[in-house]
Structures are given as C-alpha cells and as structure tokens.
Amino acid sequence: MDALNEDLLKEAQSDVAKSGLQNSAEPNIRAQDHYALYLFAGIHCLLAWLQRLSTVGGDSLEQYYARYPFLLAYQQQLLLVMPSRLDWPEGRLWWKKNLASFAAPGFTEKEKIHLPLKVLEGQLGLTHDNILALMLVGLVEEDSRFGTLFAELQQPLGFRRPMLETLGHIVGVDDVLQGRSPWEVCQPLLHNQLLKVENAQLPRAEWVLKVASEVWDVIRTGQFFSAQAQYKYIPLGQLNPLDTVLINEELRLRLQAVPPLIQQRSIRHLVLRAPEGSHCVEIMGTVAQALGNNLLLIENNEQSPSPPHESLGILCTLSNTLPLFKFDLNPGETAVLPKLAGYAGLVGIVLGPEGGLDVSEADSLLNLELEFPDVRQRELMWRHYLHGMQIREFDRVARHFRVPGDFIKQIALAAKNKAALETRHHLDIEDIRDAARNLKRQKLDALADRLEAKGSWTQLISAPTTSEKLLELQQRCYHRESLLDRLGPAFKNASNCGVRALFTGRSGTGKTLAARILAAELGMDIYRVDLASVVNKYIGETEKNLNKVLTRAEALDVVLLLDEGDSLLGGRTDVKNANDRYANLETNYLLQRLEHYHGIILVTTNLSDNIDKAFQRRMDIVIPFFQPQMEQRLAIFQLHLPKDHQIEDGFLEQVANYCNLMGGQIRNVCQHAALIALDENCVARKTHLELALRSEYRKNGGTYPLNKSPARMMDDGGIDNFIHALSRRF
C-alpha cells in the first residue's frame, strides 16, 4: 500500500528533515496526505504494541516480520519519515506531537484546508488516542493482510476485525501515555457513528468493530460519497454567494445576519418556508457558502420516503457539509428531524405552506419565509436563467408565466436546449410555452387530467347573463396581479391574486366547454380533477389528495377545474356520528384552502342548491348556466352540423322548438348524424338528423317529440306549448 504522499517521503531523507512532518515552505497538505500520516501513526502504534508483547513473553517483532513480511515493508516506510534515534515509546510521542502541529493556529484557517481527522478533534473533541483507534479499525479496509494479523492476535476467537478490548490495549494502555480503559477509547467513536458493532449480542469486551465504507471514504478523501437516492451533494464551488441570488431585500438582510448567529451558536436550525417550485435550495446554499460548507440536500417525500442513513451526521462533519432537509408535508403532518450523531453544526430545513416541524431545541430555531415572486422579480429571474438569450415578446413572459424561481430555471433551460437543437439563437414565447407545458405534464399528469384549451367565446352559445359573467371572469383572471395594486388599504391583508369561480347548471349546459375556452383565451393550460374520485374513505386521505393537486396546480399556474364539486362542497351537517365529523373536517379544509389559493380555480356543480353557502361567499364570481332556449338550441345545431349539410332550415327550426335538449345532447346528435352520413358516403340530410335524434331520446329514456303528424302538431289545443313552457320553467 503506497499510502504516504511521495513529496512527504522525499523531504524526509535525513534526521534534520525528520524532526517534524510540517513543511513550512509548502503548507498546503491535502486531506489524503493527512489521512496517510494518521494511518502510519496507527501502524506505528500497532508495531509498538507487538514489541511490548515480546517483553512479556510473546513473540519477538522479528518473528512477526518473518510471518508477515508486509509489516516489515511498512516499518521501512516509517523509518523514511521518523528520526532513527527514537525508541518505540518516544516514537508514539513524536507522532502525537507532529500530527498536532497541523492544528497550529492559522494553518488550516489561513489556507482554508479541510482536514477531516482534525475536524474530529476540533468539533467533536476526540483525542489523539480515539483517532488512532479509528485508524487501527480502518487498517483492514486498506489492507486485508491486517485482518490475518488480527485473527492471530485475537485467538481463540479469531476475528479478522479488531475487538473493542484489543483496541483499548493497543492504544490506551501504554507506559508513556496515560492509560485508559478500552471502553473510554472506543465509546466516543461509537457514539458519533464513526464505528459500528458487528456482534452486539456478545460481551462488550468481545465486540468486533468496523467502520462504515462511506465514513472511511470521507476520511480518506474529504469528499462526500453516498449511494442514497434521496441525497444530492452540492460542493462549495457550485454554491452561489448571497448577493447573486434573486430574492427580496428583506429576506436578503435576514440571511446576511444568519452566519454571525451560527458562529455565536444562537441558532442550530434554519427553517425556510417556500411555495413549491421555489429556488429554496439555492437560497439555503448561500448560507452554506457564507459558512464555507458544502451542501447536502436530503429529499423527504413519497418518492423517496426512506429515513436518512444513520451515519449522515458524521458524514456531514467529516466532509464539511451542511445538511438540508426538504419535506413535502400534507395538512396535519409533522416533520421529525433525525438525530444526527456526530454533527454539531447548522441544520437547514425547507417546508411548504402545509405541515409542522417537531424540533426539541425550539429556542435555537430561526424561521424565514420566501414569498411567491412578483412580476418584477420574475422578470429578473427570466433574464438571469436565460443568460442573455434573445427572446421575442419578452415583456409578456414574466407576466404570462407566473411560476416560482426553480420552475423558471427548469423552463428556461428546456427552452434553450430546444433552440440549440434547432440551431436557433433566439427564443419565441411558444418555446417557453412548450417547455412549461412539458414541466406541467411531468408534475401534474399523475394528479389531474389535462384538457385541451381551445375555442373562443363565439363557440359558446349561452344566455346573455352567462356570457357577460364569463367575460367578467376573463378580465378578473387577466388582471389578477395588477388588481392588487389598485385596491384600497383595507384589501391588503384580505386579498390575494387567486381567482375562484363557481359554475352552476345542469349537465350539458356548457360548463366544461366554458372552462376550456377561458383557458384558451388566457393562453393557459387547464387540468380537471373529479372531486368525487378525490374523496377517500380513510381519515385524512382526502385532505392529502386535495393538497397535492392544489399545491402543484398553484405553483405551475394552470387553470384548475374541480368537477362535480357538490360531492365535497355540500352543506355541512350536524355531527351525529364519526362520519359526519370527518366529512365536515374535509369541507372545512377545502374552505380554508380555497380562500388562500393563489391560482385560478373553477368549480362546477349540477346541484347548486346543495352547495354550502360558505363556499359561495368565498367565490369571486358565481356563473349560472341555463338550459338553452329555442333560439340558442337552433344556434347550437347550426354551429355543430357540417357546413355542407342539406337539412332544411324549417326542419331545423322545428327540431330546435320541440326537442328540448341540452347543449351537450345537441352536440351528440350532430356528431351521430355526421357519422351516419359518413357511413353512407353522402352529406348530412334530414333523415340522418332524425335517426340521431331518435337515438338520443332512446338513450335518455324519452320519447322523440316529432313522432306526431304535422297537422296534430299545429292544432293540439296548445298542449305542446304548455308542456314547452313547463320545461322552460323547471
């Protein structure tokens, strides 16, 4: 094993040079070099113990060299570094003195060198003996031949890894050093997760100790390595300073005050609450950068729910890394931080709007909040993440794509990649829209159904009052952010830029069509959630399902359509049993969530009388959709029939007058008529329309009203007119 750095060996060629390990001309020792020196100090300690055994009747050191030639090779390397005049006890002191010199004032601080083993002394208070014991356990990780040696030394048990008692005798019982019990030597290493016990069921003296591979890798290199899927390691060089991150000045000033508070040990936990999709990791990275730390993001969500590795704390200490826990919580859930054995630094925590945090040291916790970026902040973010890329209609981008910082970063990168593939040096707003749509599909398709946003208001045949309300809704959505600046001071604390609308009316009156047209007019995507499918029989699951889709839709800025709203928006009842109580809790949650919703949400219901009045009060606008009248039915027929149809106007008027159908039913009839005509390879005619009408009436259990003879229809004593009037009323 070539453990020592070649430069260290070259400079140790005489007793003068061997008087000390530190080279004043070149103080930039690497973590690998420092580790190698400690490893050879451990080997020297082991050889000194073997020599001491020979004085009490054991084999001589030469006999061990004969059986294990690799020990002699290590001894020869040690003599290249150590002064030759030293005996074994003096050699122990020489290694302790020279290794301590690396912690001399100004050495590591001035050069900003991170030495993991010195961190153990400085931050965790481990002694030289503790670290020697750690290195002795690690010898087997570096050279399996040491395992054969330990197996002989620990006969009759024959363990290939050192036992606790063996380590204590090698390190702690020495005439030169103050003797300590084996447990005193090893306990700090076990407590800080530097060592693990393989056979804890045996007596403590026979415990076999090992060092986790991840821990040993960090000790050797100073770099963090882990195979955990939920870990994302960001080295210090990739973290941004605070003055380059796009946040409001109030939050910037508070973050500037964090490092001094940490150095004073006033805070231990830094909590940042932020909307989903925010650049919260980048913001927390500025704190790590100011402290000179790397950053480790630990995701805690349903995709990676496994608990953090038990050695996480000591890994962060050894690698000079700040752990950042990101929790995706649902209503009523509480995040519990794991115990980070071996770590005494700052812990970062990112939370969303929902959920709480269970921290035992509440007095050492600092809460910060990141608000949703306004238009000006989003414009700065778009310019920053596009990196000077030219984009047409840039003034529309920041206003039209209302998404937080990290989503802006992802969308900008995807749009730039698309332009690069097409060898373009500029972007269009359609590039941004396509990239945003792809992101929405990744995040939302598993939670809601995407509808195609298309059409215009000319395609929606509705009552004049309904049309006026829809145009009012469109204006409210278009100006939802700028409206806040035009309101009086009384609105400041009670208003947000969310828009909430309730569409009421029977099935087939055009509520879903109106929602799709609204999204198309606004240039937004629309997703539909069937509230009946969201409701879950298990306690708390309905709120979780709602929270997921509402939070995600809010962050991605889509039009969210909650279909069949009466399944959850029904009036609250008196509590007669447990089911009533939990149903009311679900209703109360949705009431509160809608009130604080920042996006555009449309709720449809076929039973407006069953809707809780509290919901209607919280809606910005309620739009009724009526059953179409004769003129509207005629217009719907003309809009949906093929342009080349050969159906007489008089017959169409007769159908519109007597066939009291909903808009959705008329659409089905026209589609069926076109299908029959297509099958006969001709244009749509009266017979095709009649066949389609009869089919629609049979489907709904009704009687086709035009079965009567024309004469009877003209002189029926006014019965048809009376029935028609009743149908309009009810």
276, 352 in Cβ contact below 8 A? yes
Domain boundaries, the chain: 6-221, 231-369, 375-444, 457-624, 630-729
Task: Pick 230 or 69 by higher pLDDT.
Answer: 69
The confidence score (pLDDT) of residue 152 equals: 94
Name the class of domain 630-729.
mainly alpha
The confidence score (pLDDT) of residue 507 equals: 86
CA–CA separation, 112 and 121 (whole Å): 17
Name the band, by pLDDT with cuts 50, 70 and 90, for residue 107: very low
The confidence score (pLDDT) of residue 254 equals: 92
Q: Which helix (H) or strand (E) holds 651?
A: helix 649-658
Name the class of domain 231-369.
alpha beta
Task: Please name which of 294, 323, 372, 716 lies closest in space to residue 551, comparing C-alpha atoms.
Answer: 372
pLDDT of 247 strictly over 70:
yes
The confidence score (pLDDT) of residue 315 equals: 93
Task: Please name which of 211, 189, 197 lies closest in space to residue 131, comparing C-alpha atoms.
Answer: 189
The confidence score (pLDDT) of residue 219 equals: 93
Q: What b-and-e string marks burial along 172-187, b requiring 16 or more CB atoms within 10 Å of the CB?
A: bbbeebeebebeebbe
Q: Identify the CATH assignment for 457-624 out of 1.10.3720.10, 3.40.50.300, 3.60.21.10, 3.10.450.50.
A: 3.40.50.300
Q: Which two tokens stand for residue 448?
A: 């809601």
The confidence score (pLDDT) of residue 490 equals: 62
Q: What is the CATH number of domain 375-444?
A: 1.10.8.60
Question: Matching CATH topology for 375-444 and 457-624?
Answer: no
Name the band, by pLDDT with cuts 50, 70 and 90, for residue 581: very low
**Any idea what DSSP says for residue 163?**
B
pLDDT of 1 strictly over 60:
no
CA–CA separation, 502 and 514 (whole Å): 12
pLDDT in tens, 306-321: 556 788 999 999 999 9
CA–CA separation, 96 and 145 (whole Å): 26
pLDDT of 271 strictly over 50:
yes
pLDDT in tens, 168-205: 999 975 543 455 688 989 999 999 999 999 999 999 99
Query: To the nearest 10°, the Cα dihedral for 701, 703, 704, 710?
Result: 180
Name the band, by pLDDT with cuts 50, 70 and 90, for residue 676: very high
pLDDT in tens, 82-100: 888 888 888 989 999 988 8
CA angle 558, 560, 565 (to 5 degrees): 175
pLDDT of 301 strictly over 60:
yes
Name the band, by pLDDT with cuts 50, 70 and 90, for residue 226: confident
pLDDT of 137 strictly over 90:
yes
Helix ranges (H only) for 357-479 are 375-386, 394-400, 405-421, 429-444, 464-478
CA–CA separation, 370 and 716 (whole Å): 72
Its pTM stands at 0.82
pLDDT in tens, 478-492: 998 888 777 776 666
